[in-house]
Chains A and B, each alone.
Chain A
């Protein structure tokens, strides 16, 4: 069940009505939301609802054990078991085929080929998100940052809550569990922000991202050798805009849907292409993942506390593993490694740059960062290294532009221009619109949705991050 579909609209209207009718019964409300989330998840493949239930139950039990552990050592052992179990789930469903392929390739190289146990493992949607969420819960309980959840129901809802279930944001236990303790209260501002975020996300996904995917990015990346440098460059910028509009749209809609049900999720994107360094980019792009990687990987690996070399090593490991988290392919690893290398260069330059040298103008930093990110998107989007190399080679072959139209150029420009809107503009609009009478706001939202429905291409592709 995809957010921008009629069936999800009907589903959400029912959930909204029933959830608020249970306003005075917080426990029953949570039970209902868990069931609704299972229906939402089971719409893809009901078998994986079982995985979600088992995962939540095991993680709840482990958190209970951690909180009751007599010593920190026992607690550390339990958290280690919990992290290992979650990584096993993730590893089996997401990386089994990849590792078996690599093993087979290695054995072939040393002339010791064997029949390996090949399995066609179906990837459960959102497995990367809910396993990361479960791990952060266990580690936070172990570190004493959050108390264990009051009940299994709370952990079940934390992991299954449908707005964030399949593509984040990775909402931490410290963000959601305190909200589950009390009956949520809706305010006009929250509701208006929620509605604006949903409409805005709908526009970014179904209009900008869909137009660019169908008209430019998909055909060019499918066979880059058929296109000239102009088309390839446009497809690179187009993909940068597409992936932003696709993924940030999901996050916006998730935050908006949760707000309409009375819950607050943290922001996941903050105009990332206006970053003036790669470090800045990671503070603005998929914020919940970069914070996760920082808190549970980069800092435990040593962070920046043990000198420049160790900092760079920690950065590289974090980014390479972050790349692998996105998908079981070497192109994702290379994407992460490229980000790691540039982050290290920034760190080294920051330390070695003579103090009297003037800082770069911000616009130079912005342009360099944007193009480094675009270069890395070529690796991210390409099916293989060979395809990525074809794409990069093609950037030097000049010829007629056949795929880019003035309309698509306009869509790319619009997608980039969104980054230069005043920050927090939706929140400010919501602050003003909350004074409108309900019928006026409803008619306004309906009218904007009608325009989006009239211009969006037929059908809707799955969100890019569903595959992760």
Chain B
């Protein structure tokens, strides 16, 4: 079986290819489903199957990284501002600095910088040496 000239992921015979990294219960269910619906022979080609699994893992990883990056972009605007002030001065970095400041202001107004500020304040209080009587 050769898949040289098309993407196996979109091959209808591989719709239910078993992902060995899926949760254990789903794994067993998918194995049964795959055997019944597409026939055991269809997953003989390990290379094609592993390509599908790798493709899914890549999309899963990309989504996770994207969500983490967006999460930080929304909640961690203070770091963006701090970083932008360290950039060497020129028209491009001035634009980045302005955008960072505006973005930080908007997120602060929406209350989204509050968690970071609260954690920071708590941590600084923890670091302060105890007052002598």
| Interchain nearest-CB distance for B88 vs A (Å) | 12
Residue of A nearest to B83 (CB): A6
CA distance A73 to B88 in the complex (A): 55
* Contact across chains for B82 and A458 when beta carbons are under 8 A apart: yes
Residue of B nearest to A446 (CB): B71
Tell me if B1 is interfacial: C-beta within 8 Å of chain A.
Answer: no
Tell me if A11 is interfacial: C-beta within 8 Å of chain B.
Answer: no
A190, A405, A438: which contacts B129 (Cβ < 8 A)? A405
* Contact across chains for A191 and B64 when beta carbons are under 8 A apart: yes
Tell me if B80 is interfacial: C-beta within 8 Å of chain A.
Answer: yes
B64, B76, B117: which contacts A442 (Cβ < 8 A)? B64
* Contact across chains for A445 and B61 when beta carbons are under 8 A apart: no
Tell me if B99 is interfacial: C-beta within 8 Å of chain A.
Answer: no
* Contact across chains for B76 and A438 when beta carbons are under 8 A apart: no
| Docked complex: B1-38 residues within 8 A CB-CB of A | 21-23
Tell me if B110 is interfacial: C-beta within 8 Å of chain A.
Answer: no
A9 contact set on B, CB distance < 8 A: 69
Given known A187-B54, A191-B60, contact A445–B80 (CB-CB < 8 A):
no
| Interchain nearest-CB distance for A441 vs B (Å) | 5
A442 contact set on B, CB distance < 8 A: 63-68, 71
Tell me if A119 is interfacial: C-beta within 8 Å of chain B.
Answer: no
Residue of A nearest to B62 (CB): A20
* Contact across chains for A23 and B58 when beta carbons are under 8 A apart: yes
CA distance A451 to B75 in the complex (A): 10
Tell me if B120 is interfacial: C-beta within 8 Å of chain A.
Answer: yes
Mask of A185-218 contacts with B, CB within 8 angstroms, 1/0: 1111111000100000000000000010000000
| Interchain nearest-CB distance for B53 vs A (Å) | 8
Residue of A nearest to B21 (CB): A188
Tell me if A16 is interfacial: C-beta within 8 Å of chain B.
Answer: yes
A190, A438, A446, A458: which contacts B75 (Cβ < 8 A)? A446
| Interchain nearest-CB distance for A456 vs B (Å) | 9
A458 contact set on B, CB distance < 8 A: 82
* Contact across chains for B65 and A16 when beta carbons are under 8 A apart: yes
Tell me if B50 is interfacial: C-beta within 8 Å of chain A.
Answer: yes
A317 contact set on B, CB distance < 8 A: none
Tell me if A450 is interfacial: C-beta within 8 Å of chain B.
Answer: yes
* Contact across chains for A438 and B72 when beta carbons are under 8 A apart: no
A434 contact set on B, CB distance < 8 A: 21
CA distance A441 to B66 in the complex (A): 11
* Contact across chains for B119 and A451 when beta carbons are under 8 A apart: yes
CA distance A366 to B65 in the complex (A): 40
Given known A7-B83, A450-B115, A455-B119, contact A187–B75 (CB-CB < 8 A):
no
Tell me if B116 is interfacial: C-beta within 8 Å of chain A.
Answer: yes
B58, B65, B68, B120: which contacts A454 (Cβ < 8 A)? B120
- Number of CB contacts from chain A to chain B under 8 A: 110
CA distance A211 to B67 in the complex (A): 29
Chain B interfacial residues counted at CB < 8 A:
40
| Interchain nearest-CB distance for A205 vs B (Å) | 15
| Docked complex: B56-115 residues within 8 A CB-CB of A | 57-72, 75-76, 78-80, 82-83, 115
B68 contact set on A, CB distance < 8 A: 195, 442-443, 445-446, 449
* Contact across chains for A438 and B54 when beta carbons are under 8 A apart: no
Tell me if B133 is interfacial: C-beta within 8 Å of chain A.
Answer: no
Tell me if A453 is interfacial: C-beta within 8 Å of chain B.
Answer: yes
CA distance A5 to B116 in the complex (A): 18
Tell me if A447 is interfacial: C-beta within 8 Å of chain B.
Answer: yes
Tell me if A13 is interfacial: C-beta within 8 Å of chain B.
Answer: yes
A13, A405, A407, A441: which contacts B64 (Cβ < 8 A)? A441
B67 contact set on A, CB distance < 8 A: 438-439, 441-443, 446
Residue of B nearest to A445 (CB): B68
* Contact across chains for B65 and A13 when beta carbons are under 8 A apart: yes
| Interchain nearest-CB distance for A363 vs B (Å) | 31
Tell me if A241 is interfacial: C-beta within 8 Å of chain B.
Answer: no
* Contact across chains for A188 and B61 when beta carbons are under 8 A apart: yes
* Contact across chains for B76 and A185 when beta carbons are under 8 A apart: no
CA distance A47 to B65 in the complex (A): 33
B123 contact set on A, CB distance < 8 A: 454-455
* Contact across chains for A185 and B54 when beta carbons are under 8 A apart: yes
B66 contact set on A, CB distance < 8 A: 442
| Interchain nearest-CB distance for A294 vs B (Å) | 36
* Contact across chains for A446 and B129 when beta carbons are under 8 A apart: no
Residue of B nearest to A435 (CB): B23
B71 contact set on A, CB distance < 8 A: 442-443, 446-447, 450
* Contact across chains for A186 and B58 when beta carbons are under 8 A apart: yes
B58, B72, B128: which contacts A450 (Cβ < 8 A)? B72
Q: List 23 A-B contacts (CB under 8 A).
A: A6-B83, A20-B62, A185-B54, A186-B58, A186-B61, A187-B54, A191-B61, A191-B64, A195-B64, A260-B61, A260-B65, A435-B23, A439-B63, A439-B67, A442-B64, A446-B70, A449-B72, A451-B119, A454-B116, A454-B120, A454-B123, A455-B120, A458-B82
16 additional A-B residue pairs with CB within 8 Å, beyond A189-B21, A195-B64: A5-B83, A13-B65, A17-B62, A185-B54, A187-B54, A191-B64, A407-B127, A435-B22, A438-B60, A439-B67, A442-B65, A442-B66, A450-B75, A450-B116, A454-B119, A458-B82
Residues in A lying within 8 Å of B, measured CB to CB: 5-7, 9, 13, 16-17, 20, 23, 185-191, 195, 211, 260, 405-407, 434-435, 438-439, 441-443, 445-447, 449-451, 453-455, 458
**7 pairs of A and B residues whose beta carbons are closest in the complex:** A442-B67, A446-B71, A438-B63, A191-B61, A454-B119, A6-B83, A442-B64
